Structures are given as C-alpha cells and as structure tokens.
Amino acid sequence: MSKQSITPRSQYHLPPPNDNGFTYNYEDHGGIHNIFVDQDTVKQQKTNAYEMVDLEADAAKERTKAEYESSKIAIEMRANHELEIAQVNLDQSRQQALFALDQQHGQRRLEIEQRAQEQRLSIETASRQLLLQAQEQRLNKELSQKLATISRNGSNGFIFNSPNQSN
C-alpha cells in the first residue's frame, strides 16, 4: 500500500459562499462533512459577539447599579429607622430622668418644709416656755417686792395691798 499524502482541501472543489457566508459541502468522503466559513463572516460574527458582550456587560452594570442603589436606600432607611428608635429611646430616657428628678426635688422640698415647720414649732414651744418663764420671773419679782414691802411695812404695821392697788 502506498502512502500518499492527500489533504482534504485538495480533494474538494469549494462552491461559492451562500447568503450567510457559510459554504457547506455535503459530499460524503469517508463520513466527513466539511463546513467552510469566509473571513468577512467571521469578522461580522466577531463584531456581533463583541456587541452582544457589551450589551450584556451594560445590562449587568445596570443591574449592579440598581442593586447598589437599592441596597444603599435600604441601608439608609434602616439607619434612619434605627436613629428614630434611638431618638425615641433617648427622649423616653430623658423624660424618665426628668420625672425622677422632679419627684426627688418634690420629696426634698417637702422634707425641707417639714423640717422648717418642725423648727418653727420648736421655736414656738421654746418661745412660749421662755415667755412663761419670763412671766413667772416677773411675777416672782413682783411678789418678792411686795413681800419686801410688806416686810418693811410690817414693822410699822401690817398693811396689805390688793393687787389692783398701786403703790
């Protein structure tokens, strides 16, 4: 058997390309079907593929941008919501602290007023005691003076003055 080197192209006659640029050879030579493509078609398909990739990339960029904006809005909304909750909690805490302070202030003021009232009562009691003591001392002094007068006059005779009479 002699070996001859035969290339498949050398065996076939290429027909002119059809409308889509492809040339088909359906002749069966040993079960091999050959398809031939021209350069302009390849260039057009390359251009079309680039355009398709660019369109897909642009669409993907738009989806990514929309997802980004959506996520950004969601984050801002969540942050604003948490801020509102924190403000409400802070307001509530402030109100509770002010209420507690008002109660404490009222209690202290009441205690001060009670102590002042107790001191007033104590002063009033001490004042009355001192007044009674002063009145008692005055009466004792008057009695002593009268007794002294009686005792002086007693050597001259017994003279008794009624308290309504003046000397």
Asked, for residue 157, whether it belongs to a domain, the answer is no
Between CA 88 and CA 72 the distance in angstroms is: 24
pLDDT tens, position by position, 100-136:
999 999 999 999 999 999 999 999 999 999 999 999 9
SS3 50: helix
- pLDDT at position 38: 86
| Distance (Å) of CA 87 to CA 57, 92, 95 | 44, 8, 12
Average pLDDT over every residue of 148-167: 63
| 58 backbone dihedrals φ, ψ, rounded to 5° | -60, -45
Average pLDDT over every residue of 14-32: 51
Question: Domain residues for 103?
Answer: 13-150
Asked, for residue 117, whether it belongs to a domain, the answer is yes
Residue 34 pLDDT level (bands cut at 50, 70, 90): low
Residue 36 pLDDT level (bands cut at 50, 70, 90): confident
DSSP label of 165 = S
Asked, for residue 96, whether it belongs to a domain, the answer is yes
Asked if the model's pLDDT at residue 27 lies above 90, the reply is: no
Asked, for residue 47, whether it belongs to a domain, the answer is yes
β-bridge mates for residue 25, sequence order = 34
SS3 51: helix
Q: Which residues does 158 contact at the CB level (< 8 Å), separation at least 6? A: 150
Between CA 159 and CA 118 the distance in angstroms is: 51
Number of domains in the chain: 1
Asked, for residue 21, whether it belongs to a domain, the answer is yes
pLDDT tens, position by position, 52-74:
999 999 999 999 999 999 999 99
Is pLDDT larger for residue 47 or for residue 167? 47
Task: Characterise 160 by phi-psi region: left (phi > 0), alpha (psi -120 to 50), beta (else).
Answer: beta
| Distance (Å) of CA 11 to CA 15, 30, 34, 35 | 13, 12, 11, 14
Residue 79 pLDDT level (bands cut at 50, 70, 90): very high
Asked, for residue 165, whether it belongs to a domain, the answer is no
Asked, for residue 164, whether it belongs to a domain, the answer is no
Asked, for residue 30, whether it belongs to a domain, the answer is yes
SS3 98: helix
Give this prediction's pTM: 0.43
SS3 31: coil
> What is the C-alpha R_g of the chain?
63
> CA angle 146-150-151, nearest 5°?
115
